[in-house]
Amino acid sequence: MTQAPASLSITLQACAKTFDDGTRVLEPLDLSIAAGETLVLLGPSGCGKTTTLRIVAGLERPDAGGRVLFDGDDVTALDIAQRNVGMVFQSYALFPNMSVAENVGYGLRVRRTPAAERTARVREMLAMMRIEALADRKVDQLSGGQRQRVALARALAVRPRALLLDEPLTALDAKLREALRTEISALLRRLHITSVYVTHDQAEAMALGDRIVVMSHGRVEQIGSPREIYQRPASRFVADFIGAMNRLPGRMLAGAFHCSGGSIAWPQGPERAQEILFRPEHVRIAESEAVADLRGTVSATFFLGDRSRVLVDIGDDRTVTLEGAMRRPLRPGERLGLRIDAQDLLTF
């Protein structure tokens, strides 16, 4: 398959966005996206991720002073029609007046590609997305998953320099979302095309991104690989937003963090720590209560198939969640000792 000759690197310099009514939706942002990289913009709604994507696309202009560079060329003043980027929308944005094949071929028509070449390319795209059978269908005869395949085929048909995806899977049901996510991931790796992917779903971000940009309130909270973001969250917001976290208030005393239910040895713990955070999968069950860090009573258990989730009441209305393969079934009301390694503790 033939793609654009070389992938594109994208740089945003001091791109901020203030709407006409004065609301600042994006604080000045500097961001570099390497050629061929898949960058995921992740955050809750209103965090500025879609605005950032629209600035890259050319659908929004950054406030004065902001610059968008494609391979070092300033494209800030160009609108989307001149930037040669493929875009996939949450609502698909397929043209209802055209068939599937016409939708996929539209970008080529606009570029006055000769009919024969256009037909060949359309056929190639339909085959790639495995929707040849739908070529003559009208858009309103398609399911959500089929629509999104058509949207991808349409965006890629023009051999764009970059692919921009705005919550492409949000409108689909969970099972389809997962299947299409795997497919998109494989597609982006295979095409080696620079992509920016916006989502509020951390599982999607983890599965797709080479790097993830976690955003909140118009600011970047952290940029890093999925592993870095998960294991070394840079802020309390990131720690909370990505995956599940236990959070316990307390204070440091003689190399240990004291909180409800007991204390956890933490020789390197900062003296000012007011709160510790740790992941449910890092909590282990102690051999006995005597050697445990925290003690409590099982309040609920959930069997999840490959693992179990157990809620332990450690007193003072505090609950610790642990997750993992339990060697024996636990019953509510049972006393339990818990161990947490110092290396798994976080504080902000």
Q: Which residues bind other proteins (CB under 8 A)?
A: 57, 59, 79-82, 84-87, 89, 91, 93-99, 101-102, 105-107, 109-111, 114-116, 118-120, 122-123, 135-136, 154-155, 158, 164
Q: How far is the CB of 151 from other proteins (least distance, A)?
A: 8
* CA–CA gap between residue 243 and residue 305 (Å, rounded): 19
Structure tokens at 82: 């001149």
Nearest to 338 by CA among 318, 314, 315: 314
Q: How far is the CB of 181 from other proteins (least distance, A)?
A: 22
* CA–CA gap between residue 172 and residue 151 (Å, rounded): 14
Identify which of residues 121 and 279 has a Cβ nearer to other proteins in the complex: 121
Q: How far is CA 44 from CA 8, 240, 311, 312, in A?
A: 28, 12, 26, 29
How far separated are the first and last CA of the chain, in Å rounded? Answer: 48
Identify which of residues 97 and 343 has a Cβ nearer to other proteins in the complex: 97
41: Cα within 13 Å, side-chain hemisphere: 31
Identify which of residues 109 and 227 has a Cβ nearer to other proteins in the complex: 109
Q: How far is the CB of 256 from other proteins (least distance, A)?
A: 56
Identify which of residues 110 and 186 has a Cβ nearer to other proteins in the complex: 110
Identify which of residues 70 and 266 has a Cβ nearer to other proteins in the complex: 70
Give bridge partners of residue 13 from the DSSP assignment: 67
* CA–CA gap between residue 62 and residue 65 (Å, rounded): 8
Q: How far is CA 326 from CA 132, 142, 223, 313, 331, in A?
A: 48, 45, 34, 18, 12
Q: Provide the 8-state DSSP code for 210.
A: S
CB count, 10 Å around CB of 289?
14
Which strand (E) or helix (H) includes residue 205? Answer: helix 202-208
* CA–CA gap between residue 70 and residue 221 (Å, rounded): 24
Nearest to 276 by CA among 314, 228, 302, 223: 314
Q: Burial of 114 by CB count in 10 Å (0-12 exposed, 13-18 middle, 19+ buried)?
A: exposed
* CA–CA gap between residue 336 and residue 340 (Å, rounded): 13
Contact 255, 266 (CB under 8 A): yes
